[in-house]
Amino acid sequence: MQFLHGFMSITGNFRENNEDACVSDSRSRFFIVADGMGGQSAGEKASAIAVELIPQKLEQLIDFDEEAPQEVLRKVDVAVEYANAEIMALGEVESNCKNMGTTLTFILNVNQQFYIGGVGDSRVYRWRDDVFEQLTTDHSLTQALLDAGTISPAEAATHRYRNVLYRYLGTKEGGTGTHAKQLTPQIGDRYLLCSDGVTDGIDDKMISRLVRDNDDPQLAAELVVESAQNGGSKDNITSIVVHVID
């Protein structure tokens, strides 16, 4: 199998700076999206720390050709915990970074196995055999209410707590695990990693169509972002699209 990928990240129409960050590894070993939060440029710093330190730690810890699955799951959490601690530490020593944080979602490609997880509400989706599904779970109050059966999916889409997170990097809870899952990619799969700026502007049906109908992952990533912007997204917008080919 081979992996083609493209990405795009923009400030959008309503923000002064882009607090999203992403990395799409040229060797297809990892793909990461982080969505920062905090006053002034603090969110931008938090997401930048995440996409810088986590790849560095992954490269130190993981043999991407033959690492055992349980070790991959353990080591990705070590890498995320390390970045989380650094974000928290900077928030303590720099007043303008106090209470900063970031979401995180990722795909690791180790020995042609995918490991997918995250912290917060940035997401990974997969399109396979004409089925489009979300592979990560949002760590938001709205998702918790939805899981508890307190609200319906229709109510969740516009709920006042949909952007309120109970787990993200920059807090003690952010370093308690990514709950990553191991999946075997198949030829023909298409994956999307995105910040919530995407889902703020377009629904899953539109996202699925854009991922399905565009054979160039770079074009698909750009169209996802453009459509979310045109759809009224009020946030920064970031997407990475990964295709699995023969």
Tell me how many domains the chain contains.
1
Contacts of 62 (CB under 8 A, 6+ apart): 71, 72, 75, 76, 108, 110
Interval 22-69: pLDDT, tens: 999 999 999 999 999 986 679 999 999 999 999 999 999 999 999 999
Mean pLDDT calculated for residue range 213-238: 97
- Beta bridge partners of residue 118, listed in sequence order: 105
Q: Is 160 helix (H, G, I), strand (E, B) or coil?
A: coil
Q: Give residue for tokens 């070590």.
A: 78
Q: Tell me: the pLDDT tens digits for 97-133?
A: 988 999 999 999 999 999 999 999 999 999 999 999 9
pLDDT of residue 131: 97
| Amino acid at site 38 | G
Single-letter amino acid code for the residue at 154? A
Helix (H, G, I), strand (E, B) or coil at 161: coil
What DSSP designation does 136 have? S
In the chain, the N- to C-terminal Cα span, in Å, equals: 5
Mean pLDDT value across residues 67-89:
97
CATH code: domain of residue 162: 3.60.40.10
pLDDT band at 153 (very low <50, low <70, confident <90, very high): confident
Average pLDDT, stretch 177-189?
97
Q: Report the share of the chain in percent with pLDDT over 90.
A: 87
Tokens of 5: 């990928």
Q: Mean pLDDT for the chain?
A: 95
Backbone angles phi, psi at 171, to 5 degrees: -135, 165
Give the domain range for residue 194.
Answer: 2-245
What backbone phi and psi angles, to 5 degrees, belong to 163?
Answer: -105, 10
**pTM, 2 dp:** 0.95
H/E stretch holding 144 reads helix 141-147
Cα 8 from Cα 19, distance rounded (Å): 13
The stretch 196-213 carries a mean pLDDT of: 97
- How confident is the model over 79-98, as a mean pLDDT? 94
Characterize the bridge pairing of strands 104-110 and 113-119.
Answer: antiparallel
Overall average pLDDT of the 1-13 stretch: 97
**How would residue 163 be classed by pLDDT, with cut points 50, 70 and 90?**
confident
Residue 147 is predicted with a pLDDT of 87
